Amino acid sequence: MNPKQEIKLPDRMNTFLTSEHFTLQSARGIVNGEISSRVTICFTTLSSVIIASAFVAQIPEMNQIFLLIGSIAFPLIIVLGFYTAVRLGVLSGMDAMYIRGINRIRQFYIQSAAEVEQFLLFPPHDDDRSNRIYGGWSPASLRDNLLSAANAVVTSNSIVITVLVGVLASGYFTISYFQFLPIGIIVFVASCFLHYLFAILLVRPQFQVDVYMEARFPAVTSKEKKSPGG
């Protein structure tokens, strides 16, 4: 048995940690609200610029204006998309920290009254796998990234970068769209890679702190269960 489970916990901790539990749940709601609002602002702005550009592109006499719009508006959209993706990464990290804190409090509930564990839907552990289960994420990290809001922004932003480079190349260097296709694929892949690289450099260091990453109450794996008995 874990030595921590043998400690007699003061009754007043119930009030303290229950309040902390509700505070963390409220913080998660605020984080998810900001995620929704930032994604909405990013895609609404992108849609508005695309619609305005489409109207201008239909008038042959306004080709120069179309290039001017593409040279000014789309770079601003790209900057907005980049900042949005980075902020979504920060918010995702904050949400993961709040989940870890909530799961630690669930462990307190189990230590205070072990019989309550059978009524809890989510695991009272703060390891990464337990956090993903409570957060509704798949254990496969690749799938998590592909289905995340940040990845949607990164993909859209990379498409905008590729289209902008294609439009500028076609307008200034008279390159056809078919000739630009292989270059466009390279630009798209490179853009996605750079987005993820900057996200790792800017976001991850903020959460590489022991108190945030430490699993104080990890779940017991099947291998660990078998080891005592040989």
* Pick from 103, 104, 100, 108: nearest CA to 8: 108
pLDDT at 3: 43
pLDDT at 221: 65
pLDDT at 4: 46
pLDDT < 50 regions, the chain: 1, 3-6, 139-140, 222, 230
Calpha distance 227→148 (Å, rounded): 37
pLDDT at 72: 84
Q: Over the stretch 195-209, which tens digit does the pLDDT of each residue have?
A: 888 877 777 766 666
Note the pTM of the prediction, 2 decimals: 0.79
pLDDT at 230: 46
Cβ pair 166, 195 in contact under 8 A: no
pLDDT at 209: 66
Please give the full DSSP string across 34-57, using - where no structure is assigned: HHHHHHHHHHHHHHHHHHHHHHHH
